[in-house]
Chains A and B, each alone.
Chain A
């Protein structure tokens, strides 16, 4: 795999994993359904 491939893989995974982690941390720290 070329450097460019690694960059796209790492950036894509990074964006998605950060967003998902942020969301789930917030979900578990916030209120339940009414």
Chain B
């Protein structure tokens, strides 16, 4: 007798909206967006940003929610099975779906470590461990010591960072161990509102900074907002700015990774995806455009002034979050409390994202190998723990940047292109339109029929092509700016990634052969 295992489900509608929004709201909302906006035309950046949101981000949200729910109806929670359900005649399409497990796994193995830094810094903030540091050099030295990149008066090795990594990793595994309703939903339902509370508190604190130094009247909070929002329309002539905006929408909404497919696969056939998808996307936008843009850049402007802010905005996400922001918060009364609020906000944004990155691999084992959740989580825990180690110990060798380019950038766009073509052209737009509207609580405007079929795929293809066109991407692919010493580490990382991909493809082949054999036995 063949028994069908009952798949996990969401407990409430708000639960899945908070979980998808939690997956989307990450460190990038608070660090990447304001820096990108400030460096790419200020307020004018919002024109390509909104164009990308409405032509790329929201359509992709609807596509992924719909594909996920559709695949869930066939008991598939990951892209190989979902793609196969869409195009059953094609034997190879399931292998393209491997990207939907590979991508999140690759991001998970470095993201968890960065998430651990935020937890560590929130602890350091409460303890006042960096309270005495008052300049960029000192704070950079503190960060490098913490990362184990140098021995200094603050840290004597990577030990502290590793302990926080272990705590963070165990917390992630613990949440996914308790499943969709008992773990992920429960966490997101309290973590997301708490994240917004911390965000609003910090935003209000920044807005009320005024002009802290009366000898420098220009260094005020309104000019800080002006640095981010004053439009520079000449930036719109640059293709790079449009590309940056499209890229930001991609990363911020967590589309093209595979996690939304998995989350939506736990919905029932008659559950709405249109309104829920739009609500998750708009919640993410509040965190990004309203909270994210109102904290780090305006605050840094007030304390570092109009000249230094230029280089600060271009100094990268880690520098903004872990060097500039603690220095800014150190200058405020109740620095420990605000420092804790800032880093714990980042930790909550991180953990609600990392658990979603873990879920596709776990769902793949559960759905395609009929392994129970606890066993699937244990396998995932052991394998991903081992895979995290190179990101931790070879951080200075460029391993994280390499993982981020392939797992967190290139494959995202490739995967989104594949799923959009599959949805609009293979599944067929008429059928897709009906599928989107099953159980829908609102109609998608008709124009989106055209957008999803033509505009979104063309937009994606142009981003994909431009990745190879861009000097930065070419330099990364051909290792142009990488020192000869680090080149071996980069090549080893690439080899490791290739091996990971092949192993996942073999697992897909094995799972399908097993299913075919089982089906043959039943006949």
Contacts and interface: CB of A to CB of B under 8 A. Distances in A.
Contacts of B290: 13, 16-17
B279 interface: yes
A30 B441 contact: yes
A30 B14 CA distance: 11
B222 interface: yes
Interface string B273-316: 00110110011011001100000000000000000000000000
Interface centre among B10, B13, B46, B229 (most CB of A within 10 A): B229
Interface stretch (B128-136, B139-147, B264-272): B264-272
Interface string A1-34: 1101111110111011101100110110011111
B17 A2 contact: no
Contacts of B226: 1-2, 5
Nearest to B272: A30
A33 B270 CA distance: 8
B113 to A, nearest CB: 31
A15 to B, nearest CB: 7
B231 A12 contact: no
Contacts of B9: 33
B398 interface: no
A20 B13 contact: no
B283 A20 contact: yes
Contacts of B276: 27
B318 interface: no
B336 interface: no
Interface in B193-238: 222-223, 225-226, 228-231
B12 interface: yes
Contact of A33 (B44, B50, B268, B282): B268
Interface string B425-449: 0000000000000010110000000
Given A12-B46, A26-B442, A34-B271, A1 B278 contact: no
Q: Which of B12, B226, B270 has the most CB of A within 10 A?
A: B226
B321 interface: no
Given A5-B42, A27-B17, A30-B275, A19 B285 contact: yes
B230 A27 contact: no
Contacts of A7: 43
Contacts of A20: 279, 282-283, 285-286
A16 B57 CA distance: 14
B62 to A, nearest CB: 13
A33 B268 CA distance: 8
Contacts of A16: 282, 285-286, 289-290
Given A13-B289, A16-B289, A30-B272, A1 B225 contact: yes
A14 B80 CA distance: 40
A23 B225 contact: no
A8 B285 contact: no
B13 A5 contact: no
B278 A5 contact: no
Contacts of A2: 226, 230
Best-buried of A5, A13, A24, A34 by chain B (most CB within 10 Å): A5
Contacts of B12: 32-33
A23 B279 contact: yes
Given A1-B230, A20-B285, A30-B275, 16 more contacts: A1-B226, A2-B226, A5-B42, A5-B225, A5-B228, A5-B229, A8-B44, A8-B229, A20-B282, A20-B283, A20-B286, A23-B278, A30-B13, A31-B272, A33-B9, A34-B439
18 contacts: A1-B229, A4-B43, A4-B230, A5-B229, A6-B229, A8-B44, A8-B231, A12-B43, A12-B50, A19-B282, A20-B282, A23-B278, A26-B441, A27-B275, A27-B441, A33-B13, A34-B271, A34-B439
User: Can you list the 4 inter-chain pairs with the closest CB atoms, starting with the nearest?
Assistant: A8-B43, A1-B226, A5-B229, A23-B279
